[in-house]
Amino acid sequence: MLLITGCGAAADAPATPTPAGVARSATPTATPAPTPSATGAPTGPAASGVPLTDASLGAHPAEPVVQPARVQVPSLGIDVTVSPEGVDATGALALSDDPAIASWYRYGPTPWSTAGTAVIAAHVDSFDYGVGQFALLLDAPVGTEIVTTSVDGRVARFSVQEVSMIDKTGVDWNAVFDRSGPHRLALITCGGEFNYDTGHYLSNVIVTAVPIA
Amino acid sequence: MRKTLIAGIAAGAFIAAAAALPASAAEGDAQLSVLHAVPGVTVDVYVNGALTLDDFTPGTLAGPLPLPAGTYSVAITASDAADASAPVIGPVDLPLAANGNYTAVAHLDASGNPTATLFTNDTATLAAGEGRLTVRHVAAAPAVDVLAGGSPVITNLANPGESVLTLPAGTVSASVAATGTTDPVIGPADVDVAEGTNTIVYAWGSLADGNLALAVQTIGGLHSNPGGVPAGNAGLVATNQPGDSTGLLVGGALALLLAALAITAVRSRALAKVER
C-alpha cells in the first residue's frame, strides 16, 4: 500500500497545516448542541471543511486537453509536427521513426498547462530519414525562443534555459516528466557517443525551456 | 413497506471530520472518503458523537479527509434527528490503518436494507500509460456482470463486493447486466479510465425501484513515468566513429589489420615486380 507522495501529492493535500499529533483528541465537542427548535436545518459548523462533490457519472468531465501540434525553433530552422504518444512496449516514450514527427507525452502536462513539464521528443536521426532537425538543439543558446502551436491554433512560447547532454543511465526521468512543479517545456533527443552494436546513443540531449510571459 | 423503511431510515456516510476532528494532514494519516448511496433520503452523519456531515444527500461523495489511524465510531441518522442517539445505520466502527485510503459507503444491501461498507482503495503506483478501474456493487440487486464494449470483463460481482482491473488509459463503454446475461440494467455509459488514476465506479440504487445508477470516485497521482527516450538509431551525429566504439573495437582493429596486410601484400608484389 502506497501513500500518494512525491509529485502526486499536490492533488491530495489541500492541507490546512496543523501540528501533527493533535488530531486524535476525538472527544465529542460541544458544537452540535441540538437546539430543540431546529428540526429540519441544523446549522452546525460541522460540515464546513468537508469537501463535497457530486459523484454522478459524468458530473466532472475531464477538462479538454490542449494538444500540441507543432514545435518551431525559428532561429535554428526547426519546424516539426507533434503527435500525442504514450509509452512503447519497453515503457519508454513512444517515438515515430520519422525525426520530423515529434512525440508529446500525452499523459503529462501540455505547453498550455500551468504546472509541470511538457515533454516533446524526436529522433536525432534515422536510417530511413537521415539526420533529424532536433540534432540542432544541442547548439541552442540560452534564450533561444521555442514556439509551440496547439491543434486548435493556440500558441505558447518558451525560452531556452538550459541545454544538457546526460548519460542515459543518469537521467532522472521522474524529474524530467514532472507533473506538478514549475511549468516547463522539455525538448529531448539523443546525442553523444553511439553504441554501434546496440544501435543506441549513450546520452540524451535535454533542452529545458521556461514560459515567455 | 420497504420504501417506508428506507425513507425513515437514512443513509449517509461516515466521516470523521471538521467538528469532530481537526483536518490535519499529518504523516501516516489515513484518507477517508464517504459516499452516500442510499436513494431518496437525506441524512446526518455523526462521528464519535459529533455531527460531521449535515444534510448529506444521495449521490454525494464527501472527502477525502486525512485522519490519524484509529477506530472511528460512525452513526447515521435521519436529517431531522437532534442527535446520534437513534441512528438508522450504525453506530459502526471504522478501523483506519496508517496511510490507508478508504471509502465508507452507506448503501442498500442486496435485498434493499440500508447498510454500510468500508472499502479499502488501491493506491499502488500504476505503470506509465495505465489506469485502474475498480467496480463496486452496492445496489439492491442480484450479482452482476460488468461488460466493456459488450464483452464481460467482470463476472458474478455481488453486493457488497468489488473487482479491480488494470487497463490502458482510455474511455471504456461499460454496462452492467445480471450475471450471465448481456442485457444492461445500467448503461452502456462511457467511463473515463484516466492514466495514473484509480477510477472507482459504484453501481448503486435499487433494481426493484428502477433507480440503479453509477457513481464515480477518482484517486489520482498514482502514475509513473516513461523510463527513457530512445531518440536515435543511426549514429549519424555520433561524437564517436564506429572504430571508437568499445563494442566494435576488436572488429575494427581486425579490419584495419587486414587492410594493412592487404596493402603490404600488394606492395610486396609490386616490389617483387620491380626487382625482377
In chain B, residues with a C-beta closer than 8 Å to the C-beta of A17 are 24-25
Q: What is the pLDDT of residue A169?
A: 94
**Alpha carbons B83 and B79: distance in angstroms, whole number:** 10
Distance from CA of B270 to the nearest CA of A (A): 37
With 50 as the cut, is the pLDDT of residue B256 above it?
Answer: no
In chain A, residues with a C-beta closer than 8 Å to the C-beta of B194 are 62
Distance from CA of A181 to the nearest CA of B (A): 14
Nearest CA among B145, B141, B207, B214 for reference residue B176:
B145
Torsional sign, CA A170, A174, A179, A182: negative
- Which residue type sits at B8? G
Q: What is the pLDDT of residue A32?
A: 35
Which position has the higher pLDDT, B71 or A30? Answer: B71
In chain A, residues with a C-beta closer than 8 Å to the C-beta of B53 are 46-47, 50
Taking all residues of chain B, what is their mean pLDDT, rounded to a whole number? Answer: 84
Q: What is the pLDDT of residue A39?
A: 32
Residue A203 sits in a domain of what CATH number? 2.40.260.10
pLDDT 10s digits, B87-131: 999 999 999 999 999 999 999 999 999 999 999 999 999 999 999
Beta carbons of B199 and B139 less than 8 angstroms apart: no
Q: Write down the ipTM of this complex.
A: 0.77
Q: What is the pLDDT of residue A198?
A: 92
The H or E element that residue B261 is part of is helix B249-275
**Domains: count for chain A:** 1
Enumerate the β-bridge partners of residue A153: none
With 80 as the cut, is the pLDDT of residue B134 above it?
Answer: yes
Domain range holding A151?
Answer: 68-211
Q: Is A148 a member of any domain?
A: yes
Please indicate whether, in this complex, the C-beta atoms of A36 and B82 are within 8 angstroms of each other: yes
Beta-carbon contacts of A147 under 8 Å, excluding residues fewer than 6 positions away, are A71, A72, A73, A74, A155, A156, A157, A158
- Which residue type sits at B87? P
pLDDT 10s digits, B177-186: 999 999 999 9
Enumerate the β-bridge partners of residue A39: none
Closest residue in A to B37 (Cα) is A55
Q: What grid cell was written down for A2?
A: 502506497
Beta carbons of A1 and B124 less than 8 angstroms apart: yes
Beta carbons of B117 and B160 less than 8 angstroms apart: yes
Strands, sheet with B198-206, edge to edge from the N-terminal-most edge strand: B162-168, B130-140, B198-206, B213-219
Q: Is A152 a member of any domain?
A: yes
User: Looking at residues B20-43, what average pLDDT do you find?
Assistant: 83
pLDDT 10s digits, B139-166: 999 999 999 988 999 999 999 999 999 9
**Alpha carbons B165 and B133: distance in angstroms, whole number:** 5
Beta-carbon contacts of B134 under 8 Å, excluding residues fewer than 6 positions away, are B121, B122, B162, B163, B164, B165, B198, B199, B200, B201
Please indicate whether, in this complex, the C-beta atoms of B219 and A4 are within 8 angstroms of each other: yes
Phi, psi values for residue A75, rounded to 5°? -70, -20
Beta strands B114-120 and B101-108, pairing class: antiparallel
Q: Is A63 a member of any domain?
A: no
pLDDT > 70 in chain B, percent: 79
**Alpha carbons B16 and B51: distance in angstroms, whole number:** 9
Phi, psi values for residue A126, rounded to 5°? -165, 145
Distance from CA of B45 to the nearest CA of A (A): 10
Q: Is A7 a member of any domain?
A: no
Q: What is the pLDDT of residue A9?
A: 31
Beta-carbon contacts of B238 under 8 Å, excluding residues fewer than 6 positions away, are A192, A193, A194, A201
Q: DSSP character for A17? A: -
A28 and B CB contact within 8 Å: yes
Q: What is the pLDDT of residue B143?
A: 97
CB atoms within 10 A of CB B24: 19
Q: What is the pLDDT of residue B244?
A: 57
Phi, psi values for residue B187, rounded to 5°? 85, -165
Which position has the higher pLDDT, B11 or A59? Answer: A59
Own/partner pairs, B179-182, CB within 8 angstroms, 24+ separation: B179/B142, B179/B143, B179/B144, B179/B145, B179/B155, B180/B145, B180/B155, B181/B145, B182/B145, B182/B147, B182/B150, B182/B152
With 90 as the cut, is the pLDDT of residue B228 above it?
Answer: yes
User: Looking at residues B16-28, what average pLDDT do you find?
Assistant: 55
Numbers of helices and strands, H then E, in chain B: 2, 16
Q: Is A126 a member of any domain?
A: yes
Closest residue in A to B216 (Cα) is A55
Pick B221's closest partner by Cβ from A11, A34, A134: A11
Q: What is the pLDDT of residue B25?
A: 66
Please indicate whether, in this complex, the C-beta atoms of B82 and A34 are within 8 angstroms of each other: yes
Q: pTM for the full model?
A: 0.78
| Residues of chain A below pLDDT 50 | 1-47
Phi, psi values for residue B133, rounded to 5°? -120, 120
Q: Is A51 a member of any domain?
A: no
> Radius of gyration over alpha carbons of chain B, in Å?
32
Q: What is the pLDDT of residue B62?
A: 96
The full DSSP string for A29-67 is PSTT---TT-SS----STTTT--EEE-BTTSSPPPPP--
The full DSSP string for B5-35 is HHHHS--------TTTS-----TT-EEEEEE
The full DSSP string for B198-236 is EEEEEEEEETTTT--EEEEEEE-------S------S-T
